[in-house]
Amino acid sequence: MIAHSSLLESVSKAFNDLFQFIPENIPISFTKKEFNGDYTITLFQFSKNIGQKPDEIGKKLGQYVVEKYPHIFSSYEVVKGFLNLSVTDQYLLSKYQAVQSQWGIVNHPSGKEILIEYSSPNTNKPLHLGHIRNNLLGWSMAEILKTQGHKVIKANLINDRGIHICKSMLAWKKWGNGETPENTGIKGDHLVGKYYVLFDKHFKQEVEALIQQGLSKEEAEKQAPILQEAQQLLRDWEAGKPEVIELWKMMNSWVYQGFEATYKRMGVDFDKIYYESQTYLLGKNIVLEGLEKGVFYKANDGSIRIDLSNEGLDEKVLLRSDGTSVYITQDIGTAVQRFSEYPNLSQLIYVVGSEQDYHFKVLFKILEKLGYPQAKECYHLSYGMVELPTGKMKSREGTVVDADNLMDEMYQTAKQITEELGKVHELPEEEKKRLYEIIGMGALKYFILKIDPKKKILFNPQESIDFEGHTGPFIQYVYARIQSLLRKAEYQVTQFGNVETLNIAERELIKHLLNIPDVYKEAAQQYNPAVIANDVYELAKKFNRFYQDHPILKETNEQHRLFRLHLSYTTAQMIKEMLQKLGIDVPDRM
């Protein structure tokens, strides 16, 4: 535990004094509620080195530290290989006062530079619910990694080329009648997405007609005239045909304006934006160099491949027999480009759905075999799908949950529920609007980030805005309640309050606050914002219990009153800071 270095040093010295053994790592955690104690040390792994049973080690350690460090330890208990240590009020108070200016942020640089790539949208449609999870995960992890002193570059690789955008372009050419975002009032990415859906509608009609003429479904899909036109448009784009390039630039510019508005409302940003149209040819020369070095080989059909069967993977084509690149070729190229662009880069993190797990295993292994030391530090932050109670989403059929529409729905739901509670009628209209946005976006972000990235999400907007459940609005409400308390008490931050003893609720709050540095560290190591999301929820619940059991404004002892106000203030600051790591804002009134 980062904040408990003196506690761990005392136990380490006890190991040395008693057993002439200094452990490399002392596993310590909070003591479970059903046992006596504050912190628990697991002893099983020390038996072999010391030559004694875990319980014997525990009894000797417990007795030793309580006698030698009475200002830290008040008592101990050994339970089946676990040493439960109780710490003094004096120790907790001294630690609480000592960390007032730090609270888990590493102020010195780690020397580690990390590029994290997230979002990576296609320019043929607006962002949807799946993109929201991707963006929130990527942005939040960047902020969490910064707490560990790392330099973080937030990157976005926009997929602005390929058959998908050509489908939207072709449909607009055929049926657009000169529609633009300006003359329709439709957001640019929505307008382009409309034509992607329209293309699919006509494509299906043509396929059905060809099947009626006797073709198989597979043959009909290949021979559909509209698809062949789209493929020709792609060839024209790759050949640089001026009118095609102009259409592509115009429609992409509409999409970028739309994306920018969505990103801004979502609260995510990027330090660097890459475009696939500028990177898709990268990698070809690297593959040819790898062929010369013997990393790759040329197959009988002329394609260049790598055989990774000894690595538990398969054979992979890197250049087709006609010399054209495949998808992974570009990824090799962009990775190497980033190693060159950022010479001190120690890690690349890719935030991509779990359906690409195999792809990234192959990519990282190829980079490793090409001799790039950064390859071993590359990481795929894999996440599960986001589904709705109605099932999976499909872009081509227009059944996705649009990000903008969902954010609008969250706003309206927040407004409805907040007004039903009847606590904001006296607020000015503009403040109400801002409050509904904060609550709605907080509900959405928390619902998504509280779940381990590897797990699927079944998203329910109504369930996410529950002021009494495991939700963002509940935590925001606790923060707002503390602000109300501090205003009523006319509390000044410099007022601390001198106390010598703590009650159980105060001890629990302080122990939780002191553990926040370890929560940040764990979230960074596990690449998992849910660690912070669930911890801040527990902190909010503990404050609620403390507040209900000890009405602060009725406290007659002035020193106790001031101390509890300071503890409330500190709790609110940590709730705010932890939620900020998740991109969630907090209101002063609710």
Is residue 380 within 8 Å of 388, Cβ to Cβ? Answer: no
Q: Which CATH architecture has domain 2-87?
A: 2-Layer Sandwich (3.30)
Any idea what DSSP says for residue 124? T
Q: Bridge partners of 40?
A: 29, 84
Residue 99, φ and ψ in degrees, nearest 5: -100, 15
Of 291, 379, 396, nearest in space to 335 by CA: 379
Please enumerate, as own/partner, the contacts of 92-100 that have beta carbons within 8 Å and a separation of 24 or more.
92/502, 92/507, 92/510, 92/511, 92/514, 93/499, 93/500, 93/502, 93/510, 95/3, 95/4, 95/510, 95/514, 96/510, 96/513, 96/514, 96/570, 97/496, 99/3, 99/514, 100/570
Q: How far apart are CA 540 and CA 495, in angstroms?
A: 23
| Ramachandran assignment for 23, one of left (phi > 0), alpha (psi -120 to 50 degrees), beta (any other) | beta
Phi, psi of 149, deg, nearest 5: 85, 5
Give domain 403-581's CATH superfamily: Isoleucyl-tRNA Synthetase; Domain 1 (1.10.730.10)
In 3D, which of 106, 104, 115 has the Cα closest to residue 149? Answer: 106
For residue 422, give the nearest of 434, 408, 412, 432 by alpha carbon: 432
Alpha helices, DSSP H only, in 40-155?
47-50, 54-68, 89-98, 129-146
Q: What is the mean pLDDT of each run of 10 residues along the chain (590 residues)?
A: 77 94 90 93 93 95 96 95 96 85 68 96 93 97 96 97 95 97 97 96 96 95 96 95 98 97 97 93 93 96 96 94 90 94 95 97 96 93 85 51 90 91 86 96 96 91 82 96 95 86 95 93 97 98 94 92 95 96 95
Q: Is 212 helix (H, G, I), strand (E, B) or coil?
A: helix
Half-sphere exposure of 355 (CA within 13 A, CB side): 3
**Could you give the CA distance from residue 363 to residue 350 in angstroms, rounded to a whole number?**
11
Architecture field, domain 113-283+325-387? 3-Layer(aba) Sandwich (3.40)
Tell me, what DSSP letter sits at residue 31? P
Q: What single letter denotes the amino acid at residue 174? A: K
Q: Dump the DSSP string for 290-336.
A: HHHHTSSEE-TTS-EEEE-GGGTS-EEEEE-TTS-B-HHHHHHHHHH
CB atoms within 10 A of CB 516: 24
Q: 78 has which bridge partners?
A: 83
In sequence order, which residues have a C-beta less than 8 Å from that of residue 310 and are 6 or more positions away? none
Query: Residues 61, 7, 148, 263: what is their CA dihedral angle, to the nearest 10 degrees?
Result: 100
The confidence score (pLDDT) of residue 180 equals 98
Residues 308 and 557: their CA atoms lie apart, in Å, by 72
Are 590 and 476 within 8 A, CB to CB?
A: yes
d(C-alpha 211, C-alpha 419), whole Å: 55
Can you give the residue ranges of every domain in the chain? 2-87, 113-283+325-387, 284-324, 403-581
Residue 82 contacts residue 59 (beta carbons within 8 Å): no
Residue with tokens 């998908």: 164
Place of tokens 């970028």: 256
SS3 state of residue 147: coil
Residue 371's φ and ψ, nearest 5 degrees, are 95, 20
Tokens 């003359």 correspond to what residue? 183
